[in-house]
Amino acid sequence: MAAQLDQALSILRPYLQPITHSLPPFISTPLSDLISPECYSHLILNIDPFTSPTCLKFAISKAVGIAIIAASTIVKVPQLLKLLNSRSAEGVNFTSYLLETAAYIITLAYNFRSRFPFSTFGETALIALQNIVIAALVLHFTATAKNTTSPYPAVFVAGVAAAGYALFTPSIVSTELLRNLQMFVTIPLGLMSKIPQILDVQRNRSTGQLSAFAVFNYLLGSLARVGTTLAEVDDVLILAGFVGGAVLNLVLAAQMVVFWNNKGNKGKKVEETKKKN
């Protein structure tokens, strides 16, 4: 297969190289910086990926990482829209979002301060921001359902901001402490964040306002992130967190399939009440 592809490239190469050698600086420079000048020469200028399998693997990993980051910009948008349209937080567990957000902020600070490539953790920042908005909405709509107002959404956002500032500031949270948080806190938090949501779905036998788009995209993203971490980051702590998260995301995705369009125990009680009336 590789030999056939190489033969096809040898035919196309004379036509493609004038283009790849004439790329404008605003394209060629960032691309070279992203995959390294050596890999840029092999893959782009020479259009010869098979002489350097390491560069090919590295470039694929970078492409997948960037795709994950791009997808993460909208991964939670359907969940946001479901909350806003229904004005209900039914089926969406605040504890899950609280724990996941805490884990993401620690992981974001750890990656940033460790100077790992942004393509290996960029989605963490984007998803964390979306999580904060969703968690605040869950608190708001939970209070609204009880016909009350609550200061908890503002308190939650302020608390997250304060924690984030501390984690990104070495004079407040030392490198050693941050590594210990990543090792002993982030992974358990990340895994525990899925469990309340999984238990809620199982207990109610319904996914409520939980977004299928978000769940399945989360699953695909976590599986892809395991691959990019193996390829680019030599850190077993980061890898362990992604592997554990992928397993629990798989469980949640399976529940979405099993309980698809199921009104669940709450829905059945509402219908029974209506019939009695």
* pLDDT given at position 177: 95
- Count CA atoms closer than 13 A to 62's CA, side-chain side: 16
Largest CA distance in the chain: 79
Distance CA 16, CA 18 (A): 6
| pLDDT the model gives residue 213 | 84
From residue 168, alpha-carbon distances to 112, 117, 118, 159, 233 in Å are: 8, 17, 15, 14, 20
Is 23 in a helix, a strand, or coil?
Answer: coil
Length of the chain counted residue by residue: 277
What is the CB neighbour count within 10 angstroms for residue 273? 9
Half-sphere exposure of residue 105, counting CA atoms within 13 Å on the CB side? 22
The SS3 of residue 24 is coil
* Token code pair at residue 138: 């869950």
pLDDT of residue 224: 85
> The tokens of 90 are what?
């039914």
How would you write the pLDDT of the chain (277 residues) with one tens digit per residue?
667 777 788 888 888 889 988 988 888 898 888 888 999 998 899 888 888 888 888 888 888 878 878 877 788 888 899 899 989 888 888 998 999 899 999 999 999 999 988 877 888 888 899 999 999 999 999 988 888 888 999 999 999 999 999 999 999 999 999 999 988 888 888 888 888 889 988 888 888 878 888 888 888 888 888 888 888 877 887 788 888 889 999 999 999 899 887 766 555 554 454 444 4
Task: Quote the CA–CA distance of 205 and 260 in Å, as a whole number.
Answer: 9
**Contact present, 221 and 72 (Cβ < 8 Å):** yes
Residue 29, token pair as written in the block: 């420079």
Query: Given this model, what pLDDT does residue 264 score?
Result: 60
C-beta separation of 254 from 218 below 8 A: no
CB atoms near residue 48 (< 10 Å): 17
Question: 27-30: which pairs have CB atoms within 8 A and are 24 or more residues apart?
Answer: none
